[in-house]
Amino acid sequence: MRGPRQAAARLAALLALDDSPWRVALALAIGVFISFTPFWGFQTLLALLVATLGRLNRALTVAGTWLNLPWFAPFVYAGAVKLGSWLLPGLSGLGGISAWLFLGTTTLRPPAARPEP
């Protein structure tokens, strides 16, 4: 049986990013690409296979695959609507929700897409 220190060391080794930024981005991008394939139920296995064959970070490739899971969408859209409602507090109704969603996603897009220096 493993102790807490061994488990913590194993987790730290799993989460270590010793790869170059280019390889980290490649692993995540391949995961996101796989998430758009129609192989529902097999996307994680496919991501693990491609990451192993390409000698990429498996954790990042699987994380990229999980970014497009349908059950994350409500949280993403709810966050965007909430941010938009903070920026445009006077709107209401369906038009207000649409404006909030548009403004929230537009506000979140540049920081999320900004390349790291």
Span 2-14, pLDDT tens digits:
678 887 777 676 6
> Which residue range forms the structural domain that includes residue 59?
4-68
* Least confident piece of the model among 10-24, 78-92, 100-114: 100-114
Provide the percentage of residues in the chain whose pLDDT is more than 70: 64
C-alpha separations of 3 from 7, 12, 16 in Å? 6, 14, 20
Span 56-86, pLDDT tens digits:
988 889 888 887 766 666 776 677 777 777 7
**Are 54 and 8 in the same domain?**
yes
Number of domains in the chain: 2
**Are 52 and 19 in the same domain?**
yes
Residues 66 and 44: their CA atoms lie apart, in Å, by: 8
The predicted pLDDT at position 49 comes to 95
**Are 64 and 76 in the same domain?**
no
Nearest to 27 by CA among 18, 116, 111, 112: 18
**Are 82 and 30 in the same domain?**
no
**Are 63 and 30 in the same domain?**
yes
**Are 43 and 95 in the same domain?**
no
**Are 61 and 91 in the same domain?**
no
Q: Are 58 and 32 in contact (CB under 8 A)?
A: no
The predicted pLDDT at position 75 comes to 72
Residues 84 and 96: their CA atoms lie apart, in Å, by: 9
**Are 57 and 97 in the same domain?**
no
Handedness of CA 79, 81, 84, 89 (dihedral sign): negative
Nearest to 31 by CA among 67, 76, 72, 55: 67
Q: pLDDT tier at 111 (50, 70, 90 boundaries)?
A: low
**Are 12 and 64 in the same domain?**
yes
